[in-house]
């Protein structure tokens, strides 16, 4: 029997699927805005960021629940006034909001890093990327050695992005570590694991300089772009479970 498509029911289902309560996170994951939570929704939107531009697109698409990677409620909240403005907009327009941050980075089926690993055909996968006591990414090997350009071409095509490629190591890539979003701090682990390449969404100058000195190849594919794949992977799951229309709300950024 198909489940009733209320924001609360969908949120509970996603919490269980992504094991939200088991994962410590700066994000307050789950149903963050409960606007008309008892109301059945017919369309669920999926997006990376909970921001005004995304909300406006969701409104035009008549979305009743928005599922995002970056929500509006965080522990040690620094932007309380902005969060209130965003919540007010959602309430006015009757859009409920669900967020899953780290749980959607590291999930072994629907997570950003698993989706990127599959996209690139990486094999012999194992957990990689220690962050606050948990491994949030994956490392593995290619069936045959590949080039930096061939990896970037797959990402550019599938993520609609423009990878920055920094050739600081071997030309032949046999192994890779993958961290979506702003995972530059995990560079040193990639070096300790003696990987040939580190794929990440976003880096800062410190990480660039360290990678160059340590001889670690870098592919920087975009914070936004690398985190579209997790929310996208949830769309058929939610659609089939609750019998709702699902839509991806693309709101790209140059990061």
| Across 59-80, average pLDDT | 94
- The mean-pLDDT minimum among 15-24, 32-41, 213-222 falls in 32-41
**pLDDT of 98 strictly over 70:** yes
Structure-block tokens of residue 18: 């992504």
| Across 182-191, average pLDDT | 96
**pLDDT of 30 strictly over 60:** yes
**pLDDT of 48 strictly over 80:** yes
* pLDDT value for 132: 83
| Across 68-97, average pLDDT | 93
- pTM score, two decimals? 0.95
Query: How many percent of the chain have pLDDT more than 90?
Result: 91
What lies within 8 Å, CB to CB, of 166 at 6+ separation is 208, 211, 212, 217, 218, 219, 220
CA gap 206, 172 in Å, rounded: 25
| Across 106-111, average pLDDT | 97
Bigger pLDDT: 124 vs 3: 124
| Across 172-194, average pLDDT | 97
* pLDDT value for 37: 52
**pLDDT of 1 strictly over 70:** no
* pLDDT value for 38: 56
pLDDT tens digit string along 163-174? 999 999 999 999
Spell out the domains of the chain, with CATH numbers in brackets. Answer: 7-101+228-247 (3.40.1390.30), 106-226 (3.40.1390.30)
**pLDDT of 160 strictly over 70:** yes
């Amino acid at each position: 029997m198909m489940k009733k498509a209320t924001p609360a029911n969908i949120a509970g289902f996603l919490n269980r699927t992504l094991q939200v309560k088991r994962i410590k996170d700066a994000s307050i994951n789950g149903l963050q805005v409960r606007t008309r939570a008892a109301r059945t929704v017919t369309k669920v939107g999926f997006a990376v960021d909970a921001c005004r531009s995304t909300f406006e697109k969701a409104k035009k698409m008549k979305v009743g629940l928005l599922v995002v990677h970056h929500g509006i409620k965080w522990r040690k909240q620094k932007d309380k006034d902005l969060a209130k403005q965003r919540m007010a907009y959602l309430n006015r327009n009757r859009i409920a909001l669900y967020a899953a941050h780290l749980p959607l980075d590291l999930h072994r089926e629907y997570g950003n890093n698993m989706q990127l690993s599959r996209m690139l055909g990486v094999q012999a996968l194992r957990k990689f990327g220690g962050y606050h006591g948990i491994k949030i990414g994956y490392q593995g090997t290619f069936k045959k050695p590949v080039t930096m350009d061939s990896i970037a071409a797959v990402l550019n095509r599938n993520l609609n992005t423009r990878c920055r490629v920094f050739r600081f190591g071997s030309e032949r890539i046999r192994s890779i570590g993958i961290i979506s979003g702003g995972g530059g701090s995990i560079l040193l682990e990639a070096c300790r694991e003696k990987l040939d390449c580190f794929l990440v969404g976003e880096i800062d100058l410190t990480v660039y300089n360290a990678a160059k000195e340590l001889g670690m190849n870098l592919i920087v594919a975009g914070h936004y772009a690398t985190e579209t794949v997790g929310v996208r992977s949830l769309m058929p799951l939610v659609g089939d479970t609750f019998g709702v229309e699902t839509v991806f709300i693309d709101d790209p950024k140059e990061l």
